[in-house]
Amino acid sequence: MEAFEIIGGTRLKGNVDISGSKNAALPILAAAILCEGDTVLHNIPNLDDIQSMLTLLQRLGVKHERLGGGSIRLRVEDELNCHAEYELVSKMRASICTLGPLLAKRKRAQVSMPGGCAIGYRPVDLHITGLTALGAESDLVNGDMMLKAKRLKGTEVFLGGAFGSSVTATANIVMAATLAEGRTIIESAACEPEISDLADFLTACGAQITGHGTPRITIEGVKTLTGAEHTVIADRIEAGTFMIAAAITNGELTLNRARLEHLIAVVDRLRRIGVIIERSEKGIAVSSSRRLDPVEITTQPFPGFPTDLQAQATALLCLADGNSVVTDKIFPDRFLHIPELNRMGANLRREGNTVIIQGVKRLIGAPVMASDLRASAALILAGLIAKGTTRMSRTYHIDRGYERIEEKLSAIGADIRRTDI
């Protein structure tokens, strides 16, 4: 098993190339199931989750070829297998994005109940609700979701859930509806940029989609989709993580390819904390004052503050001059990083889906254990500013969602290296 060793106290400065979005790339890769001919995708990050999706697609008859430089060519060569098995799906929740494409193109789908990070309860009911509304029959057999339909028919689908709109459910219904008969209207659709990127790709393939980026998406079904060429958007969560890295180290970074409009709520909160954020010719420029002000943060669906940056923001607020409050309304149990940050000298107290943060003067390096992808990022950020050495085990979590993070951090001044335990 591997670990990261981080010696804190260095100021980050320089340029960071933000990789392609993992959360956009995964459903777009799954959408290749729908297409005739070749699909060529650019700006695909080299991540464990991406490799897991490519392996799953290979099992489902979708061949791929890496073209270099983050580009991949995909082509469906066999449509017999419609079973996304537990062995692969248990590693990555986004495997559920194959459900809609399999059902629409091959008329049946058998997908194991998904796995992924241990961040709390994440139901799949909206996926099933939406697909059955389109005409699918569903069942649960031996832990697999079984859906079949001779044809899908457009309808109105409501996707509002207990914790807001579901991004992956919206992706699944959009993909399935592209080949349905007639018009589908999705109400309370997710508005995230990753959904808009998926819709842009599908439109390039011949789909007729309007309203993406709003809570009401309309899809006019077509008979076939043809593979297209598409460049995936930059990863707003990676960009937000590096924005916080600049803030926590009193650093100065330029984030190439990052898009400010994808991070409006994050920018608002960071500016209130004391972070200076500006558009630059290449992307986003970030610097920080030495004093960090406390703030209240509540995670919400886009355009609100993303739950995927909650842990990183919590690490930053450990050093604010006063008391902060962070509430997660998307994943109320996503707080496994709290005891690990407290091991480093933070003063955090959890109350339900809220964390009360009393700022401290400094953090102290310590052995810590990553529990999930974004908690890993939070612990690395804390290690960057902690006095002494922080050793974070379970690096496989962060390898799922950050491309070469130790190389990127080292290039801008961080003292971080990957070691064997």
H and E: helices and strands count for the chain = 14, 28
Among 307, 295, 294, which residue's Cα sits nearest to residue 335? Answer: 307
Q: Which two tokens stand for residue 175?
A: 């993909």
Q: What share of the chain is helix, strand, coil (3-state, %, to 5)?
A: 35, 30, 35
Residue 303, preceding peptide bond in cis (omega within 30° of 0): yes
- d(CA 40, CA 19) in angstroms, rounded, equals 17
- d(CA 310, CA 302) in angstroms, rounded, equals 14
35, 117, 191, 205: the catalytic one is 117
The amino acid occupying position 232 is V
- d(CA 105, CA 177) in angstroms, rounded, equals 11
- Is 191 a known active-site residue? no
Find all residues with CB under 8 Å of 141, minimum gap 6, and list them: 110
CA angle 156, 160, 161 (to 5 degrees): 140
Find all residues with CB under 8 Å of 351, minimum gap 6, and list them: none
Query: Do residues 277 and 267 touch, judged by C-beta distance below 8 A?
Result: yes
Q: Tokens 């992706």 belong to which residue?
A: 171
Q: Which two tokens stand for residue 49?
A: 């989750």
- d(CA 382, CA 6) in angstroms, rounded, equals 9
- d(CA 96, CA 104) in angstroms, rounded, equals 14
3-state secondary structure of 218: strand
Annotated catalytic sites, by residue? 117
